Amino acid sequence: MKIGAVFPHQEIGSDPIVIRDWAQAAEDLGYSHLLAYDHVLGAVHENREPALWGPYTEHDAFHEPFVLFGYLAACTKSVELVTGVLILPQRQTALVAKQTAEIDILSGGRLRLGVGTGWNYVEYDSLNEAFDTRGPRFPEQIDLLRQLWVDPVLDYKGDYHRIDRAGLKPLPGRQIPIWFGGFNPVAFRRAAQIGDGFIFGSGHQQNLEALGLVREELDKANRNPGEFGIEALLNYQSGPDQWHAEASAWANEGADYISMRAMALRGQGDGLDSPQAHIDALKTYWEVVGDLTG
């Protein structure tokens, strides 16, 4: 099992030297990958109809993952760069294909693309993309991404996309892995049908329960679970007494990856008090769970 770290968007700040130091500290300690969230815009929640139910508002900071990964690709040597998850239907598919291909090329094949459908309709509206068709568009986007990464020129006609004898150049030279994320049965079913793996982002017990549901869907889809990737995000706020037990539980489940998440979760206070504290947390956590890598 490989151990990664979630990029602490909300608390790392905007100093590029600090961001570089955090990434290099993770790599030097032995973390296998860096996982970044995605939100283009933060929205005021008050007086919305329908209500916005998600945990982030206009006060939460998010570095743009593709630009961030371009920077981190140059600052690091070997860590994998993972979106966890990119809100795919609010972005243009061909542009995502171009950006991911470029990051994969410049990083030497270190990108893993985690995708989901999101919850913030204000963000969709602001980006001029339809929120209510995000579900049916999503599988077509996955199909188109995979074709764009391979075919120098393609003639694609879908329900939501049309590419008339055009293609990317340069190509990434491989099929970039596409993992899914989400919290409901629809996300689990889609992942089992067309995904390369799943990133579980809830609390520890909820994640384990969701893993069982994904495995049920894999069985229905006649897919080999051994060929489907598993990653769980584990919370630094669980405390040292729980870190090894939680990580071990995922190792026992055959997880390919876990990622330590040190940002404060909703309702858990203000989190760590400085960017340096996040760098220190990398070392503290690794000292407890690093023996589980392999």
- Average pLDDT of 64-90? 98
**Stretch among 196-200, 235-239, 263-267, 288-292 having the lowest mean pLDDT:** 263-267
For residue range 32-54, list pLDDT tens digits in order. Answer: 999 999 999 999 999 999 999 99
Beta strands 197-200 and 229-235, pairing class:
parallel
Count of H-run helices and E-run strands, the chain: 10, 10
Q: Is the pTM of this model over 0.95?
A: yes
Largest CA distance in the chain: 57
- Looking up residue 277, the CATH number of its domain turns out to be 3.20.20.30
- Average pLDDT of 265-277? 77
Residue 235, beta-bridge partner list: 261
**Stretch among 86-100, 108-122, 185-199, 261-275 having the lowest mean pLDDT:** 261-275
Confidence check: pLDDT of 267 > 60: no
Element holding 198 (H helix, E strand): strand 197-200
The predicted pLDDT at position 27 comes to 98
Confidence check: pLDDT of 273 > 90: no
Confidence of residue 266 (pLDDT cuts 50, 70, 90): low
CB 180 within 8 A of CB 160: no
Q: How far apart are CA 252 and CA 3, in angstroms?
A: 14
Give the count of domains, the chain: 1
The predicted pLDDT at position 182 comes to 96
For residue range 103-146, list pLDDT tens digits in order. Answer: 999 999 999 999 999 999 999 999 999 999 999 999 999 999 99
- HSE of 132, CA atoms in CB hemisphere, 13 A: 1
Confidence of residue 268 (pLDDT cuts 50, 70, 90): low
Residues sharing a CB contact under 8 Å with residue 39, sequence separation 6 or more, in sequence order = 56, 60, 62, 87, 120, 123
The predicted pLDDT at position 270 comes to 67
Q: What is the distance between the terminal CA atoms of the chain, rounded to a whole angstrom?
A: 5
Residues of the domain holding 164: 2-292
Backbone angles phi, psi at 242, to 5 degrees: -105, -20
